[in-house]
Structure 1
Amino acid sequence: MRHKSNPPVPRIDNLRFWGEQWVKHGTCSVSMLDQYEYFSLALKLYNGINLREMLRKESVIPRGTLVARQAIFDAIRKHMKCKPQIRCQEIQNQYYLYEIRFCLTASKDPKFIDCNTEFVGCSINPEVYF
């Protein structure tokens, strides 16, 4: 999870990355948003969510230890009023929290909605390193 003070804003040396992100994720919104509007909206949404604070309020604090993945899910769901998608990554037979995704309606004024799949890549183990 990225630290809030380090948002992924475009820089001249990573324009290729941002171009790839537009092709991979943004082009489906081309009928509603151009590239500038798409990334502006993405950054607005990103900056409007304070995951660390949500988790802290529910006593889910990153310490590099095992945490119940359901606790992470429930804390976010409580504050966001929608089901996120928790993604894990396996490294040397251990599962780590890798990414938290949100699902949105497709519009210029998107609303958060439940994601269809709650956990991806997390194995059957109920705990992940966080």
Structure 2
Amino acid sequence: MEKNSVTLTIKFLLLQYLFVLSVAQNFDFFYFVQQWPGSYCDTKQSCCYPTTGKPAADFGIHGLWPNYNDGTYPSNCDPNNLYDQSKISDLISRMQQDWPTLACPSNSGTTFWSHEWDKHGTCSESNLDQHGYFKATLNLKSKFDLLQILQNGGINPDGGSYSLSSIKTTISNAIGYTPWIECNSDADGNNQLYQIYLCVDKSGSNLIKCPIFPNGQCASTIRFPSF
């Protein structure tokens, strides 16, 4: 009986491992998501600057999220592979600059980065280990300067309003692919540019045409608040 019990336990653990591995391997693409800090902070909820100080007036990384072509996504794929900051010590200065936290209370960003790895990064483990995941995300940010792209098209974070179509067209003309725009509401209820989604292949390196866009809709004209 005891031997059979041990055998069953081993089989069960092996099945669990294979299931986690299959989930991590079977995603179809990434959403690379950047957020505008002015829109994060310009809400009734407000925001808190990180302990390193006010971030730059630039789009900041939200995350690199594995997704399926049907619009669903895997999450928390490996609870045994938790965030370990010692593995990305050489990237921290870049992360503080390009992946800042705006959550309250003010903090160093570790909670934010830990959440992104544990929920999303572990589902890309077959393609990118922890260091590879964060480095690939930072490299995407460096490669596609969304603020500069928008400003080149005359779209500036000056509190003015711009057509949603002009924002999409400006980005599409620069990168070759149509982005998805997520809006939120400021403290007065006005629709504003909040997050920009680009689609990336499973290597985490190359933009692709988005197989599917998230749900949600912006107004035809939206604000681009200052920060």
Alpha-carbon offset, residue 51 of structure 1: 1.3
- Alpha-carbon distance in structure 2 between the residues aligned to 1:39 and 1:127: 34
Return the offset for 1:30: 0.4
Q: Aligned partner of 2:140: which letter?
A: L
Which of the numbers 123, 127, 130 marks the counterpart of 2:221?
127
Change (3 A) 1:118 1:71: farther
What are the equivalent positions in structure 2 for 1:54-73 lying under 5 Å apart?
54-73=149-168
| Matched positions, count | 126
2:174 is equivalent to residue 79 of structure 1:
yes
- Are 2:132 and 1:37 equivalent residues in the alignment? yes
SS of 1:98's equivalent in the other structure is strand
Instruction: Kindly indicate which of the two structures has a greater share of residues assigned to strand.
Output: 1
Q: Show structure 2 runs of 5+ residues with no match.
A: 1-35, 38-56, 60-96, 102-106
Q: How far off its partner does 1:52 sit?
A: 1.8
Q: Which runs of 5+ in 1 are unaligned?
A: none
* 1:93 alignment partner in structure 2: 189
Cα deviation for residue 57 of structure 1 reads 1.8
Task: State the TM-score, normalizing by the size of structure 2.
Answer: 0.50
C-alpha displacement of 1:69: 1.0
Greater mean alpha carbon deviation, residues 111-120 or residues 22-31: 111-120
CA contact (8 A) 2:100 2:109 kept: no
Q: Which 4+ runs in 1 deviate beyond 6 A?
A: none
Q: CA deviation at 1:33?
A: 0.9
- Secondary structure of the equivalent of 1:120? coil
> Residue 41 of structure 1: CA displacement?
0.7
Q: 1:119 to 1:60 in 2, by over 3 A?
A: farther
| Residue range with higher mean Cα deviation, 83-92 or 36-45 | 83-92
Rounded Cα–Cα distance in structure 1 between residues aligned with 2:194 and 2:181:
8
Query: Alpha carbon RMSD of aligned pairs, Å?
Result: 2.4
Change in CA separation of 1:56 and 1:14 when aligned onto 2, cut-off 3 Å: closer
1:34 maps to a residue whose letter is D
Q: TM-score, normalised by structure 1?
A: 0.83
Q: Percent identity?
A: 28
Matches within 5 A, 1:44-55: 44-55=139-150
Q: Which is bigger in relative contact order (C-alpha 8 A, separation at least 6)?
A: 2
Q: Is the CA contact (8 Å cut-off) linking 1:85 and 1:119 kept in structure 2?
A: no
Q: In the aligned structure 1, how far is the partner of 2:215 from the partner of 2:159?
A: 19
Instruction: Please say if residues 54 and 76 of structure 1, whose CA atoms lie closer than 8 Å, have aligned partners that are also in contact.
Output: yes
| Rounded Cα–Cα distance in structure 2 between residues aligned with 1:62 and 1:118 | 24
Match of 1:117 in 2: 213
Q: Equivalent of 1:7, from 93, 98, 113?
A: 98
